[in-house]
């Protein structure tokens, strides 16, 4: 069964450093998403991406964040200068219609 993959599974970084979280969505999917979940809280939408551009972004997704689909398979989330409050689980998701959205296993980001 096809699945969304994410690397790394855990990333530790120092405050102020740049991080890139990587995702490989399911190959025939058209829509891609990033969500985050601060420990013990609900899952929050960050950004959606379709047809090589951002289709929607939340208030959380400020100028420190960017997304890219550098080739036909990868989908990346970059945080330019990490803050302590960026520590969270980051989920990538993809779908091809309005039905099930497939989530990756997540990347746990720890900012120290």
For another protein, the binding residues (CB under 8 A) are 30-31, 33, 35, 41-45, 48, 50, 55-56, 58, 89, 91, 93, 95, 98-103, 105-106, 108
Do 75 and 67 form a contact (C-beta atoms < 8 A)?
yes
CB of 82 to another protein, least distance (A): 20
Return the number of the residue (17 or 49) whose C-beta is nearest another protein.
Answer: 49
Return the number of the residue (3 or 18) whose C-beta is nearest another protein.
Answer: 3
Cα 107 to the center of its chain, rounded Å: 8
CB of 58 to another protein, least distance (A): 8
Return the number of the residue (41 or 81) whose C-beta is nearest another protein.
Answer: 41
Q: How far apart are CA 61 and CA 24, in angstroms?
A: 20
Return the number of the residue (6 or 82) whose C-beta is nearest another protein.
Answer: 6
In the DSSP assignment, the letter for residue 28 is T
CB of 45 to another protein, least distance (A): 4
In the DSSP assignment, the letter for residue 80 is S
Task: Please give the structure tokens belonging to residue 15.
Answer: 């405050």
CB of 69 to another protein, least distance (A): 14
Q: What 3-state DSSP class applies to 86?
A: helix
Residue whose token pair is 């993809």: 94
């Amino acid at each position: 069964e096809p699945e969304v993959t994410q690397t790394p599974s855990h990333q530790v970084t120092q405050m102020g450093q740049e991080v890139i979280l990587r995702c490989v969505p399911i190959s025939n999917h058209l829509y891609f998403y990033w969500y985050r979940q601060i420990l013990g809280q609900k899952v929050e939408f960050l950004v959606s991406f379709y047809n090589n551009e951002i289709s929607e972004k939340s208030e959380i997704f400020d100028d420190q964040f960017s997304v890219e689909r550098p080739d036909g398979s990868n989908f990346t989330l970059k945080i330019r200068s990490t803050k302590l409050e960026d520590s969270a689980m980051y989920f990538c998701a993809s779908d091809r219609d309005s039905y099930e959205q497939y989530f990756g296993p997540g990347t746990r980001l720890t900012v120290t």
